Structure 1
Amino acid sequence: MTTVIKVGGARAVDPAGALSDIAALDDDGEDVAVVHGGSTAVDDTLERLGIEPEYVETPSGVVGRFTDAETMKVFEMVFGHLNTQLVAGLQSLDVDAVGLNGVDGKLLHGPRKSAVRVVEDGKKKIRRGDHSGTIKQVNGDLLESLLRDDYVPVAAPPMAGADDNEIVPVNTDADRSAAAIAGELGGTLVLLTDVEGVYEDPDDSDTLIETVETSEEWAALEDAAEGFMSRKIMAAEEALDAGADEVVIADANADEPILSALSGGGTHLHQEALQ
């Protein structure tokens, strides 16, 4: 069984504990694949370049990045840097890590969305010139061949976007990338973030939802999730629908964050909750 780890890109997330746990799992002979984010670093770089990051709201209420051509170049640069840093960190812990983005071997593949529906000033509009995509296929053979040879894949957006007869790099959500990979490989997905898990009351850390096993509990989970957490619940649902056994949302800054999550920490979401 493979454990897929998504390392968050928020400013408050320190990846050191996660890297140490990945090394421990690898040393025990466990199959581990890593996916990382980095949208915060993209925003920081855009601001240093004097470019204002742009976020848009869809008619369904989901807020996401609008990625124009200039932003896409920054996105590729920043994610390439972050990927190399994580791979180097794992190599320093004697983990034979291999860095990939979604374009490599068409690891993450699907259509480019050049136009998106947005809501501006209460009105629905079409914005053109976006460089984003929806993952429809995962190259599981590529990942499984690396895992068989005892490598740890470290993957990240961009994805391989099909645009007419061309393949172009396009933005896609890192949580949903991790979900697609976890669904393809099966096993457990651990989404590391900057909080302990999902809280019934987002302002009260004593209200952690520890496990979700029924449809009623899933509905309560969705009601409780706000902001960035709602996107993680969306990704979790996609992972479970696609074949992952379990999704855990847990604190990246906890002591032994991955090991503690696999041992019961965080919020555990099970397939039967969607049935």
Structure 2
Amino acid sequence: MLIGHCVIANLEGHNGEFAKAFAELAEAERLMHIWDVPPIYYLAMITLVKCELWLAQGRTDLAQAWLARLGQTYTGDQAAAAPEFHPQLPLHIELQQALLDSIQGAPALAEQRLDKLVEHGRESGRQMLNVMALNQKVALWLAQGRDPEARQAFAQALEAAVGGALQPFEWAVRAHPAWVREQLQQGPATPLRQTLLERLPAAVAREPLEQHHGEALSSRELAVLQLIAQGCSNQEISDQLFISLHTVKTHASHINSKLGVERRTQAVARAQELGLLG
């Protein structure tokens, strides 16, 4: 039941329903307390999910403080044993720490952590961990403009997830739909690739935009535009796409210029007219 509540909270967070996500975790904690379950069995797992939600919200101070506490307890030479039902807890702490590193502008440190996690996941047969770490590497490299490495990591993630693992790819489907479509169409047909293709927004024809304004939006500009349409602030877009606030503003300026508008509300309306938002 605890795992179920945590998974639901995680899914709610991915959908931006943070109030519902934290309510799920509060209910899980309430049940554990009522049933007199020792905190050592559940508190770390709930806290780790909270850290992931805080990072998604841009509340890096809270995530940093609690990830440090979890790391002190469950990683290192004198680490406490992980709960029996979640033996991979220390590895998932490292996964979230890598995400925090990239958000805080330490991509080299994030990449180092992720390399170790990918290697460990491959050697130990922990495919889900491998897929999650590879997807984080894709996000990290796309943010740095390292497209060839991102393509290779994405292909490796698809291969590792062939048995079925959709959630680690959700960020890419949401943030880089055009780029993901290109990668999926280049590889062999598999049930996973087909399912991911079905989750992508409808393909956007570039011709109407080119006819109106001469230049199509890039895949990154489309990703920024999608988040603008969802009501995200510049800071939230920065956090979700792992890019600086300056870069967000630059993309927004280019979007307005290409769409021939002056404000983001006008950009969203124009994009809907052109079918850019699916």
Normalising by structure 2, we get a TM-score of 0.28
Larger relative contact order (CA 8 Å, sep ≥ 6): 1
Tell which structure's C-alpha radius of gyration is larger.
2
More helix as a share of residues: 2
More strand as a share of residues: 1
Normalising by structure 1, we get a TM-score of 0.29
